[in-house]
Structure formats: C-alpha cells, structure tokens
Structure 1
Amino acid sequence: MTEVLFYHLERQGLEAVLPTLVEKCLERSWRVVVQAGSRERRDALDSLLWTYRDDSFLPHGTSADGPGEDQPVFLTAEDDNPNGATVRFLVDRAAPGDIAPYQRVVFLFDGNDPDALKEARDQWRAVKAEGHDLTYWQQSPAGRWERKA
C-alpha cells in the first residue's frame, strides 16, 4: 500500500513548505513528481524552485525542458510520471488519479480555504477506503510539523 501524507497548511504557504519537503526527498535519492492544479501554477512553482533560496536551487524540470526521465523532480499539471518518480506531491487541489504505483503521495492543502479543506477531507475518506496508510500533519504554533492522525 501507498503511504499517504496530508499536510494542512495554515501558518506557512505552499511556497515555503514545498521546497523543504522536496529537498528531503532528494536527500533520500527519491525521484519526485509535483502535480499542480493548473499549468500556470506549475510554471510559478518552476520559477520558485530555481529561486526559493539564495544559496541553492532544486534540480527540476517540466515537459518544456526535454525528457522527463532526466529530471529528479518533474513538475506537471497532468496525471503523468515521466521521470519514474516514487513520490508524488499534489498541490492546489490537483486530482490525484491512481496513487497505487507510488511509495508515497503527499497532499498539500490550504487550511484557510474552506473549499480546499472540504476537498482534502473528501480525499482522505477516498484514500482511506482504498486501504492506504494515512497520516495527517499540522503545524504547531512554533512552526514544527505535528502528526495529528
């Protein structure tokens, strides 16, 4: 079964959280695909991952950058996996498709958006019904991630 993590973003936005989580995946030599809710958002994340820190960047690409298999992190707005990733991030309410082929799937959702919150709850129920291993993470007032379920 796939390990599925839900990250409830309240204190920090996606732009602050996603690069750190992707970095942790790369430290473990995991290949990653990040699925955004739209091409415009994918392009914004593409820019972010090149510039999010002054002293570093995350190696990544999109379909515009050539063969996906060359990219350790692939950004998409589709349900594709051209780099053979074992970890899939779903952001901006992207539709997950089949998650069974992945070792880990991470839903990042804006807890300040009532529609995103409702959709995350619906996804939780659907993924749980499929029998996957689920965890739910929320930031503490100190900014640390705490497992809530």
Structure 2
Amino acid sequence: MSRADFYILAAPDEDSRQHFLCRLSEKILAMGLKVFVRVPDETGAARLDERLWSWRPDSFVPHALMGQTPEAPITIGWGDALPEHREVFVNLGLNLPAEALDFQRIVEIVVQQQDLLDASRHNWRLCQQHGLEMHRTDMRG
C-alpha cells in the first residue's frame, strides 16, 4: 500500500522547508530509495540544487536536475517532468499532480504559509480519497 507523509513545520519560510528536505533526503537515501522532488519552476530547481550541494560540509547528497543524470538517487524536476522510478515523490509545489499517486510514497513538507496550508489540506484529502496510508508528523511542538 502506498503512503503519504505530511511533515508540519513551525516555520513560515521556504528556507526551512528546503533545510528539512535536505535532512529527510539523507534518511530516505539511507533506506535505499530513489527520490523525485517536484518544485514549482526551474528557478526553484536551481536554488534547491545549490542547497543540496552546500547542505553540510561533511555530507554528500547525490542528486541531479531532471534530464542531467538518470542514475542520480535524487532528481529535481518541475512542470510535467517525471523520473522512471515510482518510489518517493516529494512535493515542494502547491497542488499534488495526479501522477504522484502512482508513487510508493508521497511526502509533503508544510510550512506556515496560508497558500501552502490550503494546498496541503487539499492534497491530504486527495491522498486519503485514493486510499493511501496517511501519516502526519507535527513538528511544531
């Protein structure tokens, strides 16, 4: 059964969201899974690419932008681009595309911005309606 994980952060900013993604990516990679991170646009992809390269001096998070290196364990994409694998889909956009429901695991990282909160509530209902095993981790407390 596929699952959806929603991580609720206390912070209101995109920087906190990307920081959490870097930490989470290391854990997912340690599990031997491939990750696709969907961002809103090419600018967001370039920003995340840079963030992952400079994440920690003592760490390496192997990744690539969509179309660069097909064997990268983490792929960053935008628009309609999708990887060949269907393991982990991380949504850093607003609306969850229908294709994400084909992945084994969906991850939403929620920060305290009203548009993102509204979109995440909608995405939660979408995943629930499609019978995914739902998990919510509230990191505000």
TM bracket, shorter-chain basis: 0.7 to 0.9
Q: Per the alignment, in what secondary structure is the counterpart of residue 99 of structure 2?
A: coil
Q: Which deviates further from its counterpart, 97-106 or 48-57?
A: 97-106
1:9 aligns with 2:12: no
Question: Match for residue 129 of structure 2?
Answer: 129
Higher alpha-carbon deviation: 24-33 or 9-18: 9-18
Does the aligned pair in 2 maintain the 1:72–1:83 contact within 8 Å? no
Number of the residue aligned with 2:88: 87
Measured in 2, the distance between the counterparts of 1:134 and 1:79 equals: 25
- Which runs of 5 or more structure 1 residues have no equivalent in the other structure? 142-149
Output the amino acid matched with 1:133: E
Identity score, percent = 25
Letter in 2 for 1:84: H
Higher RCO, 1 vs 2 (CA within 8 Å, ≥6 residues apart)? 2
Q: Does 1:104 pair with 2:105?
A: yes
For residue 4 of structure 1, give the secondary structure of its aligned residue in structure 2. Answer: strand
Q: What's the secondary structure of 2:49's corresponding residue?
A: helix
- 1:90-144, CA deviations, whole angstroms, 9 ceiling, x for partnerless residues? 013253322332111101122x211110111111112111111111111144xxx
Tell me how far 1:42 sits from its aligned partner.
1.0
The structure-2 alpha-carbon separation of the partners of 1:2 and 1:34, relative to structure 1 and needing over 3 Å to count, comes to same
1:114 aligns with 2:117: no
How many aligned residue pairs are there? 138
* Counterpart position of 1:145: none
CA shift for structure 1 position 22: 0.7
User: Do the aligned partners of 1:61 and 1:74 also contact (CA within 8 Å) in 2?
Assistant: yes
Shift >2 Å, 4+ stretches: 63-66, 78-83, 94-101
1:104/1:59 Cα in 2 relative to 1: closer, same or farther (>3 Å)?
Answer: same
Partners of 1:92 and 1:54 in 2: how far apart?
A: 28
**TM-score normalized by the length of structure 1:** 0.83
Paired residue type of 1:102: F
Farther off after superposition, 121-130 or 6-15: 6-15
Aligned partners of 2:63 and 2:75 also within 8 Å: yes
1:28 aligns with 31
Q: TM-score, normalised by structure 2?
A: 0.87
